[in-house]
Copies of this chain bind each other. A is one copy, B any other.
Amino acid sequence: MGKSGILYVVGTGPGSSELMTLGAVRTLQKCPVIFYPVTQSKSGQQKSRALETVKDAVDLGKKILLPLEFSMRKNDSLVYEDAKEKCLAFLREGKDCAFVTIGDPSVFSTAGKFASMICGAGFGAKFLAGIPSFCQAAASASTVLCQAEEDLHIICGDEWFFDGRLTKELSSLDGGTKVIMKMNKSLIQILLLTVELGIEEKCLLVQNASMEDERIIYGKDFAAFAEILLADESFGKESGRYFSVLICRG
């Protein structure tokens, strides 16, 4: 029996192929099979930020490309199960597979779950780190997140906002820098919260870090920006919300 393939979970960084690592590029070049997550836009168009990132750096011409169609309307377990079976078939044939994921696989990625399923079936998985979006957000804004004895906290916006913890945490920034991610329903309210607490000058918001439509909004403009967002009905459905990183420097 031949040698089994390996699953490589590859972080592509937040969105520019310039942020892919040499290791990620080399690994994807040699993997014949690539699984990539896709999301559906309102108009039904499929989009994969991970694959978009990869295609500028890796020749995908001869690859087997397999989308993982996650959707709010579907049961994601079925998507995973289906992908797992396909992946296992390739691994048994000795073909290496890659699962690409934006940012870093260890930070808010679905990759961990997929890798566990593959390892649980007796195959090997290897993680390749990627630039997390919060590091690129800081780089884009030419700022630092923590230095010397400062701490850094990466927190889930919606979760902390709706249970009231965020107000408490942002009332004092002595405890280090707070990076707020995963603001889905709460983004506008969190921007206004920083203004209410008078800490907006210590904050900045980076949307779509490293992408062509990257946007940096400084705290002094949060109130005006929140007004614009409130008036924009399409905003709730667009990725600018999900791909927003708020940095509150301690």
Contact = CB atoms under 8 A, between A and B. Distances in A.
Interface of A: 11, 13, 16-23, 25-26, 57, 104-113, 115, 119, 125-132, 135-136, 138-140, 142-156, 159-160, 176, 182
Contact of A139 (B25, B127, B143, B148): B127
B19 A106 contact: no
Contact of A147 (B13, B22, B112, B176): B112
A interface: dominant SS: mixed
A246 B108 CA distance: 19
A153 B156 contact: no
Given A22-B17, A22-B25, A143-B106, A151 B154 contact: yes
Contact of A146 (B16, B108, B126, B129): B108
Given A25-B22, A151-B156, A156-B150, A136 B145 contact: no
A150 to B, nearest CB: 7
Given A106-B143, A151-B153, 7 more contacts: A21-B131, A104-B135, A113-B147, A129-B139, A146-B154, A151-B155, A155-B176
